[in-house]
Amino acid sequence: MKPLPESESATSVKALAPVSRQRARYLALVGLSSALLVARVALTSPSFDAVAVARAAVSGLALVVVGILTVDASLNKKRPLVARLSSKSRRLAAAAYLTTYAVCVLDVAAGVDPYLFIPGMVVYCFFVWDRPGFLAVSAGLCAYAVTRAMAAFGRGVGADDFMMLAFGVIVALYAADTVKKSVLPSEERLRALSLENEELWNLSFRDTLTGLYNRRYIQQIAIHLFSRAVRYKEQLHVLMIDIDHFKRVNDKLGHAVGDEVLKGVAQTIQATIRTSDTVARFGGEEFIVYMVRSDPETTQFIANRIRDGVAAVQFPGVPWQITISVGVAGLQENDTIDSLVERSDQFLYVSKHRGRNRVSGF
């Protein structure tokens, strides 16, 4: 039931803004490389085949689209697509690698230069950007395999071909390095922002001394618990707990000892209630517990366990036994959240007037 800080989405967008600009540069690089190489084939190939070039252009467009999705997933961790496309996906990395090689072989067989090697390697690098050594070796092996395919089809490997393949490997390594320098700092910023938001949330909704929820939080969550209990006709009990003679502890032993007593009582309450229950420091030496879907017998049992647990603790620096008084109220017809809490407070005073160290309300 912890609310999400409102500023988290805005800060995440700001942290990823530089990465979005970098993504645009990558896509421009892929598109420019494809356009230049298609133009080279169209203008310099002696056996220009419009059908082959058109087929290759369609294949290149498909690779660019895959590249867009891949980069978007790699650089925007908040998007659902990252579940299937990420730098850790071995299957997709292998698919991009083999697709690049297969398209290059088909182009060689059709008499077209394997210019799609460059955008293919760029796409591939987005899956393995965090492993530069592996990327360099695998990209080099793919380039070598393409030259072997060219030789197998009886086509000589010229200086232009070597330069094109080398350029593909270099561009892939450069893109991977740029992604690494862009993604990792952004992830660090997001982690830092997340920690800051969590710290701010704790400062707003947790008591700094005991670590329990504070009164502000419990008043918000109580509305939800009460509405749910009324709507689904569930049982809801409120425990109001007060430390007996706490002023005596502060006056005679000092506030430092009093703080330790508060922390010890808070730990005992937290350790005794169920995980579905919610406890908060209500103010001073008072604590409040909301027990959901708890019948009167279970509630009474847990309330007495809390009382017995506190009485059994030997607090350092306190020469007498620390006890608590508990008031319990269950949800009744026509109750409001205020009347329910007020009734538990009244039962707390009943426990006080009857001698303290007891549970009242049943």
Q: How confident is the model at residue 7 (pLDDT cuts 50, 70, 90)?
A: very low
Residue 285 falls in the annotated catalytic set = yes
> Is residue 308 within 8 Å of 301, Cβ to Cβ?
no
Q: Residue 118 corresponds to which tokens in the numbers above?
A: 């460059």
Q: Which of the residue ranges 29-33, 134-138, 156-160 would you say has the lowest mean pLDDT?
A: 29-33
Q: Which of the residue ranges 50-59, 95-104, 168-177, 197-206 would you say has the lowest mean pLDDT?
A: 50-59
Has residue 83 got a pLDDT over 50? no
pLDDT in tens, 90-131: 777 888 898 888 888 888 888 888 888 988 898 888 888 878
Q: Which of the residue ranges 32-41, 92-101, 231-240, 311-320 would you say has the lowest mean pLDDT?
A: 32-41
Model pLDDT, residue 38? 56
Query: How large is the average pLDDT for residues 245-268?
Result: 96
Model pLDDT, residue 67? 55
pTM of structure: 0.53
Q: Which of 318, 292, 312, 311 is nearest to 359 (CA)?
A: 311
Residue pointed to by tokens 């993504």? 23
CB-based burial label for 67 (10 Å; 0-12, 13-18, 19+): buried
Helix axes 246-253, 255-272, angle to 10 degrees: 140
Q: What is the DSSP letter of 80?
A: G
Instruction: Pick the catalytic residue from 199, 285, 297, 342.
Output: 285
> Is residue 234 within 8 Å of 228, Cβ to Cβ?
yes
Query: How large is the average pLDDT for residues 201-205?
Result: 75
Q: What does DSSP say about strands 236-243 and 359-360: parallel, antiparallel, or unpaired?
A: unpaired
Q: How confident is the model at residue 86 (pLDDT cuts 50, 70, 90)?
A: very low
Q: Domains plus CATH for the chain?
A: 8-199 (no CATH), 215-360 (3.30.70.270)
Task: Find the radius of gyration of the CA atoms of the chain.
Answer: 34
Q: How confident is the model at residue 54 (pLDDT cuts 50, 70, 90)?
A: low
Query: How large is the average pLDDT for residues 154-165?
Result: 85
CA 111-115-56 angle, 5° bins:
65
Query: How large is the average pLDDT for residues 276-301?
Result: 96
Please give the residue that has the higher pLDDT: either 283 or 190: 283
Round to whole Å and give the CA distance between 168 and 163. 9
